[in-house]
């Protein structure tokens, strides 16, 4: 069998039990070298073949997975965070389907969830934005015109920007077309790693704080009032009843 496994954000304990078990069973592990914590590879069994996908093209990756699978081995394709976000997993799955190879996807903790944990914040504060926009600045990979940062910014929603720490000046300019300069921002570098670094500020000084911290990659930019707000959820409010609990006054 071939398994796509989300390795989590970096901390080797932030992989699922299923992913951990599959890693122990696999004879071939293909991993994204630039972002996978090498400590996670230590879960692989003795003698397993470990291949860094950074040096491979799509065809070579698929070829290696298929050959190993046809010989009866278990293959783990490790992606950072969760494979459904900016992981280019789609093209690999398509290729496997074309060749009628069976595969399974095991989810992981995305870095944007680890970033909220590091900041000790909730993206959906009661009374605040109830929407999280997960996006990126356009780079070599195009972003559809309707999804440019400036127009997404007009919603005032909680926002997480991937793959854009190296273009922070542009990010700031675009966002200022929708959010006010006082909007709280945070930049989270290597969430959950030992060398994690976080900085906070306002949108008006996003570029400055990122530059001062020396952050240029492997970071997420978080934007929105949720970084300052706390609210009380109706879910736990005394006068609010729901399916599991009667309120104090029986309403």
- Closest CB 245 distance from ligand SAH, rounded Å: 34
User: Cα(51)–Cα(103) distance, rounded to whole angstroms?
Assistant: 18
- Closest CB 233 distance from ligand SAH, rounded Å: 26
The site string for ligand SAH over 187-206 (x = CB under 6 A, - otherwise) reads -x-xxxx-------------
Residues numbered 102 to 161 that lie near ligand SAH (CB under 6 A) are: 110-111, 114-115
Which residue, 149 or 191, is less far from ligand SAH as judged by CB?
Answer: 191
> Does position 186 bind ligand SAH by CB under 6 A?
no
The site string for ligand SAH over 229-248 (x = CB under 6 A, - otherwise) reads --------------------
Can you tell me which of 81, 178, 184, 224 binds ligand SAH, judged by CB under 6 A? 81
Number of residues that bind ligand SAH (CB under 6 A): 24
Can you tell me which of 219, 222, 223, 227 binds ligand SAH, judged by CB under 6 A? 219
User: Cα(238)–Cα(245) distance, rounded to whole angstroms?
Assistant: 10
- Point out the residue whose Cβ comes nearest to ligand SAH: 81
Can you tell me which of 3, 9, 96, 225 binds ligand SAH, judged by CB under 6 A? 9
- Closest CB 45 distance from ligand SAH, rounded Å: 25
> Does position 48 bind ligand SAH by CB under 6 A?
no
Which residue, 32 or 74, is less far from ligand SAH as judged by CB?
Answer: 32
Can you tell me which of 50, 52, 56, 86 binds ligand SAH, judged by CB under 6 A? 86
CB 92 within 8 A of CB 98: no
Q: Which two tokens stand for residue 20?
A: 């951990």
CB 124 within 8 A of CB 48: no
Give the closest residue to 153 by CA, choosing from 226, 229, 224, 230.
224
> Does position 178 bind ligand SAH by CB under 6 A?
no
Question: Contact residues for ligand SAH (CB under 6 A)?
Answer: 9-10, 35, 79-82, 85-87, 110-111, 114-115, 162-163, 188, 190-193, 218-220
């Amino acid at each position: 069998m071939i398994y796509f496994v989300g390795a989590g954000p970096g901390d080797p304990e932030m992989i699922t039990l299923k992913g951990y078990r599959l890693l122990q069973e696999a004879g071939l592990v293909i991993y994204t070298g630039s972002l996978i914590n090498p400590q996670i590879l230590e879960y692989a069994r003795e003698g397993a073949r470990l291949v860094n996908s950074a040096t491979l093209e799509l065809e070579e990756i698929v070829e290696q997975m298929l050959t190993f699978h046809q010989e009866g081995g278990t293959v783990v394709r490790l992606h950072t965070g969760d494979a459904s976000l900016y992981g280019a997993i789609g093209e690999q799955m398509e290729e496997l389907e074309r060749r009628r190879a069976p595969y399974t996807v095991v989810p992981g903790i995305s870095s944007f969830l680890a970033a909220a944990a590091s900041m000790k914040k909730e993206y959906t504060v009661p009374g605040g934005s109830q929407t999280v926009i997960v996006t990126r600045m356009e780079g070599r990979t195009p972003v559809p015109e309707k999804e440019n940062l400036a127009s997404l910014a007009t919603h005032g929603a909680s926002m997480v920007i991937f793959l854009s720490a190296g273009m922070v000046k542009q990010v700031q300019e675009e966002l200022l077309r929708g959010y006010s300069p006082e909007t709280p921002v945070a930049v989270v570098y290597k969430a959950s790693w030992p060398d994690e670094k976080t900085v906070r500020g306002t949108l008006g000084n996003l570029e400055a704080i990122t530059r001062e911290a020396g952050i240029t990659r492997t970071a997420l930019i978080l934007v929105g009032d949720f970084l300052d707000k706390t609210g009380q959820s109706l879910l736990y409010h005394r006068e609010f009843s729901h399916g599991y609990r009667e309120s104090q006054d029986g309403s």
